[in-house]
């Protein structure tokens, strides 16, 4: 008699778990639908052979099209950001280069204006400016000047081509603060040649631009060339300039750290001298002293939070509030339009506004 086939000898088909496919954030199961079960090998070895394949690759798309065959080779589809750490990845913030001059927050300025000492100093300077500018306006009206002649202009360039650069480099070098010297040294180290403590002519140009010394106009380029010639004469003597028409771009001349700092200090002192000359001309126009004009400039710089050389209408309105003048935003914009000034004010525009600011004084206070 034939024996019935034993169940132990008959092949039993093995069931494999369902193949997981992550369909993105819109999937109802979400990340919980991703299985990480340790699947057995194709030959029944029992070892974990699970292979995670990103779904945005060619192999990942093939696995999604044929999950049965993928399960045979233990392939599991995962999101493209699966291997990123931390998981899920944080949003990428764009890199922004930090400027040489940091922009101070408005909280710092507001706290400074709230302090009694700084607030009353600004109030005294603004009140003096209002009185002096009003007197200057009355003198101009008495002399019957045309309105176009009453506008204030200032030039930062030398008055004539024969003006020579007279800079005390030793005093200028000693006048650099420790913070500025450390900052300029850090800029110098970025362009130093390998194995040397000097920079080439091209690196010198780039380092000066990084430090904020940029000559745009022809007059500024001439001044820049005169100052660097004086620096080389001061540090090395006249013989270093015989065969070099442009020392800043010359390949045969390299610059040391002391010469670089001397150049920056000389340019700073020359800019201060030119600014003082412009202040003298502007102060004589208003009938005030250059020292008082510097106080007015300090008030302007106090309102210039980002040190860009411009203030807006809101900063001007906040400054006028300190001296009990309350023009509206619309009134200030109309005044700026009447004077032909934009909404970004320079120091000269600021003085023109202060000449007209007496129109906002209440009748009982005149």
Which CATH number covers residue 136?
1.10.238
Taking the C-alpha atoms of residue 78 and residue 225, their distance in angstroms, rounded to an integer, is: 63
pTM beyond 0.95, yes or no: no
Q: Point out which residues pair with 54 in neighbouring strands.
A: 78
Domain count of the chain?
Answer: 3
- The pLDDT, as a whole number, for residue 205 is 79
Residue 219, helix vs strand vs coil: helix
**Reported confidence tier of residue 93, pLDDT bands at 50, 70, 90:** very low
The rounded distance, in Å, linking the Cα atoms of 171 and 266 is 9
Residue 356: which pLDDT band, with cuts at 50, 70 and 90?
A: low
Domain containing residue 18: 14-87
Question: Looking at per-residue confidence, does 44 or 261 come out higher?
Answer: 261
pLDDT tens digit sequence for 148-167: 333 322 233 444 444 455 66
Distance CA 140, CA 144 (A): 6
| Domain presence at residue 198 | yes
Does any domain span residue 170? yes
List the beta strands (DSSP E) in 60-166: 75-78
| Structure-block tokens of residue 76 | 């599991």
Give the whole-angstrom CA distance, residue 191 versus residue 178. 21
CA angle 93, 96, 102 (to 5 degrees): 125
- Residue 249 sits in a domain of what CATH number? 1.10.238.10
Asked if 244 contacts 250 with a C-beta cutoff of 8 angstroms, the reply is: yes
Same domain, 140 and 65: no
Within this chain, do residues 130 and 169 fall inside the same structural domain, yes or no? no
Average pLDDT over residues 286-313: 75
Beta strand pairing call for 51-54 and 255-256: unpaired
Task: State mean pLDDT over 256-265.
Answer: 80
CA distance 217 to 105: 33
Query: Structure tokens of 43?
Result: 């030959």
Task: Tell me the Ramachandran region of residue 157: left when phi exceeds 0, alpha when psi lies from -120 to 50, beta otherwise.
Answer: beta
Q: Which residue has better confidence, 91 or 179?
A: 179
100 confidence band (pLDDT: 50, 70, 90): very low
Decide if 106 is inside a domain.
no
Q: Which residue has the higher pLDDT, 72 or 49?
A: 72
Mean pLDDT score of the chain: 65
Spell out the alpha helix ranges (H) of 287-358.
290-303, 313-322, 329-339, 347-356
39-44 average pLDDT score: 45
Domain endpoint, select from 87, 115, 146: 87
| Core vs surface per residue 275-309: b (16+ CB within 10 A) or e | eebbbeebbebbebebebbebbbebbebbbbeeee
Residues 138 and 172 both lie in one domain: no
Taking each continuous run of H as one helix and of E as one strand, the counts in the chain are 13, 4
Q: Are residues 261 and 182 in the same domain?
A: yes
Token representation of residue 362: 């209440």
Q: Verify that 166 and 145 share a domain, yes or no.
A: no
pLDDT band at 48 (very low <50, low <70, confident <90, very high): low
pLDDT attached to residue 167: 61
Band the pLDDT of 28: cuts 50, 70, 90. very low
Condensed to tens digits (0 to 9), the pLDDT of residues 69-80 reads 888 888 888 877
Q: How large a percentage of the chain has pLDDT more than 70?
A: 50
Q: Which residue has the higher pLDDT, 184 or 136?
A: 184
Residues 235 and 282 in one domain: yes
Q: At what angle do helices 116-142 and 313-322 cross, to 10 degrees?
A: 100
Percent residues over pLDDT 90 in the chain: 0
Do 230 and 310 fall within a single domain?
Answer: no
Q: Looking at the structure, do residues 180 and 205 belong to the same domain, yes or no? A: yes
């Amino acid at each position: 008699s034939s024996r019935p086939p034993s169940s132990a000898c008959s092949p039993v088909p093995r069931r494999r778990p369902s193949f997981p496919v992550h369909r993105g954030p819109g999937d109802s199961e979400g990340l919980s639908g991703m299985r990480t079960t340790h699947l057995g090998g194709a030959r029944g070895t029992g070892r974990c052979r699970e292979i995670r394949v990103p779904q945005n690759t060619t192999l990942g798309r093939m696995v999604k099209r044929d999950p049965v065959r993928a399960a045979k080779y233990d392939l599991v589809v995962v999101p493209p950001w699966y291997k990123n750490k931390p998981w899920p990845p944080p949003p990428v913030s764009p890199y922004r280069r930090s400027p040489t001059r940091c922009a101070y927050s408005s909280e710092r300025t507001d706290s400074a204006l709230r302090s009694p000492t700084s607030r009353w100093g600004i109030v005294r300077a603004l009140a003096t400016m209002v009185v002096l500018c009003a007197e200057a306006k009355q003198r101009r009206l008495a002399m019957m000047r045309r309105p176009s002649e009453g506008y204030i202009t200032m030039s930062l360039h030398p008055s004539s081509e024969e003006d020579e650069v007279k800079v005390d480099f030793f005093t200028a070098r000693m006048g650099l603060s420790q913070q500025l010297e450390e900052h300029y040294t850090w800029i110098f180290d970025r362009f130093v040649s390998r194995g040397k403590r000097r920079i080439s002519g091209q690196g010198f140009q780039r380092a000066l631009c990084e430090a904020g010394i940029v000559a745009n106009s022809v007059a500024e380029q001439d001044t820049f060339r005169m100052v660097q010639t004086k620096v080389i004469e001061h540090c090395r003597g006249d013989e270093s300039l015989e065969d070099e028409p442009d020392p800043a771009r010359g390949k045969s001349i390299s610059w040391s750290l002391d010469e670089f700092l001397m150049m920056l200090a000389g340019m700073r002192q020359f800019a201060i001298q030119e600014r003082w000359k412009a202040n003298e001309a502007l102060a004589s126009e208003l009938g005030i002293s250059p020292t008082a004009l510097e106080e007015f400039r300090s008030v302007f710089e106090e309102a210039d939070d980002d040190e860009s050389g411009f203030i807006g209408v809101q900063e001007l309105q906040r400054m006028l509030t300190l001296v009990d003048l309350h023009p509206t935003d619309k009134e200030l914009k109309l005044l700026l339009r009447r004077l032909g000034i934009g909404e970004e004010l320079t120091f000269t525009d600021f003085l023109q506004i202060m000449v007209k600011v007496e129109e906002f004084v209440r009748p009982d206070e005149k």
